[in-house]
């Protein structure tokens, strides 16, 4: 395994050393963070330090950060009927989601199925703003969910412009920023988001920890889990202290090296894309719009994603056929289908995603493997 190349960072990033150390220290604590004695207060300190770190990273107030078990739970918590921007604002009664959202958003949270509508996207994977305006004008106030960056194509959505359109129509905006954190700058107020969701393991923290961040003044959020008063009465259950501490540590170091890491990943991504295009007329999806610096989703005529992923794996390269939550399912990517691609094309899409420790030799090995696979899999 030491000689393998890992190019599936959008599925999960390796645990950062800083996160590991923070978790080890937390595991040595015995206190429950809800207890008032010294042991409990020490556990509480770790939770609140991580809360402040994440809040500072995304331009929010610590009191508006809610830790959850994962990004999926954070999305489900955010998609809640009854939200409003202030005590005098209109309550959202329906949900509009872009057609390229993660499955946890497409599921609609706590909105009834007949209260959920889809916002189409353009061929490049960017939301159709004119269609969004039309949908918002044809009904009661809506909660709109548009992701900051797509997990498959890497395409960046015009979040600030979407926010302006949504707010002018009296609605609220939820942004799934799980793929954005640590790869591009993201601040909830600058983007105009009313709610934003994050996941620790995408940024080098542990799996099984997520967060919902709520903009100041947004009210009406009802907890998914009821019981105790943890997480400011927004999410019952004893906090995962070690996981939360690891999340905070990962966010801290990710923000410190964000510019340097992004520049390195973008340089390597360009090299990777140039090499991929040289084989059998490959197509890079969403190549004409702004994308994450680390993500390449491509196909070639006749390519079968499942076969290609296995072929890369046998060459020691870990890649994906799409989002990790869809791995193993022999069906077209819903993202590419929403972008208007034929199912046969969508079934041949392979994703390579880079990270902060990806090196030039990793790209060389990936391209060597692709040349071998292309000559084998794409022969007439």
Q: What is the pLDDT of residues 328-355, one digit of tens each?
A: 555 778 999 999 999 888 888 999 999 9
Matching residue, tokens 């989002």 = 323
Higher pLDDT, 1 or 336: 336
pLDDT tens-digit readout, 126-181: 999 999 999 999 889 999 999 999 999 999 999 999 999 999 999 999 999 999 99
Query: What is the average pLDDT value for the chain, to the nearest integer?
Result: 93
Tens of pLDDT, residue by residue over 67-107, are 999 999 999 999 999 999 886 778 999 999 999 999 999 99
**Sheet (strand 210-214) strand order:** 65-68, 210-214, 195-199, 172-176, 142-145, 94-98, 116-119
Alpha-carbon span 316 to 206, nearest angstrom: 24
Running DSSP on this structure, what letter comes out for residue 155? B
State what percent of residues in the chain have pLDDT above 70.
96
pLDDT of amino acid 88: 73
CB distance 167 to 173 below 8 Å: yes
Report the percentage of the chain scoring pLDDT > 90. Answer: 82
Phi-psi sector, 139: left (phi>0), alpha (psi -120 to 50), beta: left
Give CA–CA dist 359/17, Å, rounded: 18
Q: What is the pLDDT of residue 111?
A: 96
For position 9, what pLDDT does the model report? Answer: 98
- CB atoms under 10 Å from CB of 330, counted, come to 9
- State phi, psi for 156 to the nearest 5 degrees: -95, 135
**DSSP letter string, 320-352:** BSS-GGGTT--S--HHHHHTT--HHHHTT-EEE
List, in order, residues 6 or more apart from 211 with CB less than 8 Å away. 54, 65, 66, 67, 68, 74, 197, 198, 199, 200, 247
Q: Give the model's pLDDT for residue 228.
A: 83
- Catalytic pick from 36, 160, 314, 325? 325
325 catalytically annotated: yes
Rg (CA), the chain: 21
Residues 278, 281, 287, 291: what is their CA dihedral angle, to the nearest 10 degrees?
Answer: -60
User: Which residue, 156, 165, 175, is CA-closest to 135?
Assistant: 165
Confidence band of 2 (pLDDT split at 50, 70, 90): low
Using the predicted structure, report yes or no on whether residue 322 has a pLDDT greater than 80: no
Specify the pLDDT at position 281. 80
What's the rounded mean pLDDT across residues 7-24? 98
**Residue 380 confidence (pLDDT):** 47
Q: Does the pLDDT value for residue 364 go beyond 70?
A: yes
**What is the sign of the dihedral through the CA atoms of 306, 268, 359 and 153?**
negative
């046998």: which residue's tokens?
A: 314
CA 268 from chain centre, in angstroms, equals 21
Q: What mean pLDDT comes out for the span 193-200?
A: 98
Coil/strand/helix, residue 214: strand
Residue 327 pLDDT exceeds 70 = no
Q: Grade residue 378 by pLDDT with cuts at 50, 70 and 90.
A: confident
Distance CA 158, CA 129 (A): 9
Lowest-confidence region among 225-229, 268-272, 294-298, 330-334: 330-334
Q: Which residues pair with 172 in a beta bridge?
A: 143
């Amino acid at each position: 395994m030491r000689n393998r190349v890992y190019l599936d960072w959008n599925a999960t990033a390796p645990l950062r050393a800083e996160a590991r150390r923070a978790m080890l220290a937390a595991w040595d604590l015995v206190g429950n963070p809800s207890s008032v004695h010294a042991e409990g207060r020490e556990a509480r300190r770790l939770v609140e330090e991580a809360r402040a770190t994440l809040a500072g990273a995304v331009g929010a107030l610590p009191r508006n950060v809610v830790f959850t078990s994962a990004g999926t739970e954070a999305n489900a918590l955010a998609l809640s009927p009854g939200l409003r921007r202030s005590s005098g604002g209109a309550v959202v009664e329906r949900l509009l989601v872009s057609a390229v959202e993660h499955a946890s958003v497409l599921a609609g949270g706590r909105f009834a199925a007949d209260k959920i509508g889809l916002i189409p996207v353009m061929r490049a994977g960017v939301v159709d703003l004119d269609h969004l305006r039309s949908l918002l004008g044809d009904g009661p106030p809506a909660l709109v969910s548009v992701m900051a960056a797509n997990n498959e194509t890497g395409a960046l959505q015009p979040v600030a412009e979407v926010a302006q359109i949504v707010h002018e129509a009296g609605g609220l905006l939820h942004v799934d920023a799980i793929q954005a954190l640590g790869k591009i700058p993201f601040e909830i107020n600058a983007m105009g988001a009313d709610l934003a969701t994050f996941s620790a393991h995408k940024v080098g923290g542990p799996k099984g920890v997520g967060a919902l961040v709520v903009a100041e003044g947004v009210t009406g959020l009802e907890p998914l889990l009821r019981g105790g008063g943890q997480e400011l009465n927004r999410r019952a259950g004893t906090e995962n202290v070690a996981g939360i501490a690891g999340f905070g540590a990962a966010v801290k170091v990710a923000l410190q090296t964000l510019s340097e890491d992004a520049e390195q990943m973008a340089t390597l991504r360009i090299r990777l894309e140039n090499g991929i295009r040289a084989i059998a007329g490959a197509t890079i999806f969403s190549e004409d719009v702004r994308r994450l610096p680390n993500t390449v989703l491509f196909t070639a005529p006749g390519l079968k994603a499942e076969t290609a992923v296995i072929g890369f794996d046998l060459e020691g390269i870990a890649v994906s056929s799409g989002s990790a939550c869809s791995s193993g399912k022999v069906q077209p990517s819903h993202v590419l289908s929403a972008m208007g691609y034929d199912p046969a094309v969508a079934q041949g899409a392979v994703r390579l995603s880079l990270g902060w420790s990806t090196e030039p030799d990793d790209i060389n090995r990936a391209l060597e493997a692709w040349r071998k696979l292309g000559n084998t899999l794409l022969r007439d």
